[in-house]
Amino acid sequence: MRFVTRAVLALAIVVLPASAFAGIGIHANYDLTTIEGVSESFSFAGETELVSLSRTESSNPMGVGVDLTFGMLPIVDLWISLDASFATYDFVYDAPGTVADASEEGIPYLRAGGDFTVTISPIKFPPVVSVIKVFVGAGLTVGVQTPVVSREVIEENLTSYTELPDPLSYATAEVAIGYHAVAGVKIKPPAFPLALQVFGKYYMFPGASEGTPDSWLTAGAGLIIGF
């Protein structure tokens, strides 16, 4: 019993001071990129018949996320965020010998992931305007994206040009490791446990699959409680 009491006290001593340097929040994000439209004709391996694929440009992905921030050093913070964004596009697949074209609207594109970011505050404002905190940083991203209907995706999933593609059956998310850089501003009134944060993140995913973005800029804004 004494051991349990001591363990609880030790945990409280560690956690309670740390809580003053940590925060949790939510944000909304808007990707400043789209899934590009495409229109092309091609033939399957060993076939002479041409098929055509037309894909419209998607809407801009929009989404939400959650944030955890930790004050590590006077000018260095650790920021962990999880978010997801969603967009849609249309496509038409036309092949000779088929009863009808494959045509679908509102095909979903989803991306989600987790960011691990180290930020610093390179600018020190005087006490009068210390409610404003400018930060920059960089880090690692573990992300997933659903495949976009493209020539490569169709050739990987169909064995004959007379088959009609079913995009929703290709929606298995692909995991990828990427990087990001971030810059933003945090506004927190003194003695008030709520902060407004506005930021821009630039993502880079080397080796992204055909049709999915390999780099883009995301704008976000949110609230953080406790830090």
Burial 30-56, CB ≥16 within 10 A → b, else e? ebeebbeebeeeeebeeeeeebebbbb
Q: What is the mean pLDDT of the chain?
A: 84
Look at 10-14, 155-159, 161-165, 167-171 and tell me which has the smallest mean pLDDT.
10-14
Q: What is the pLDDT of residue 1?
A: 43
- Tell me which residue of 193, 208, 215 sits closest to 150, measured CA to CA: 208
Range 43-68 average pLDDT: 92
Model pLDDT for residues 176-212, shown as the tens digit of each residue: 999 999 999 999 887 778 999 999 999 999 977 778 8
| Structural domains in the chain plus CATH codes | 22-225 (2.40.160.20)
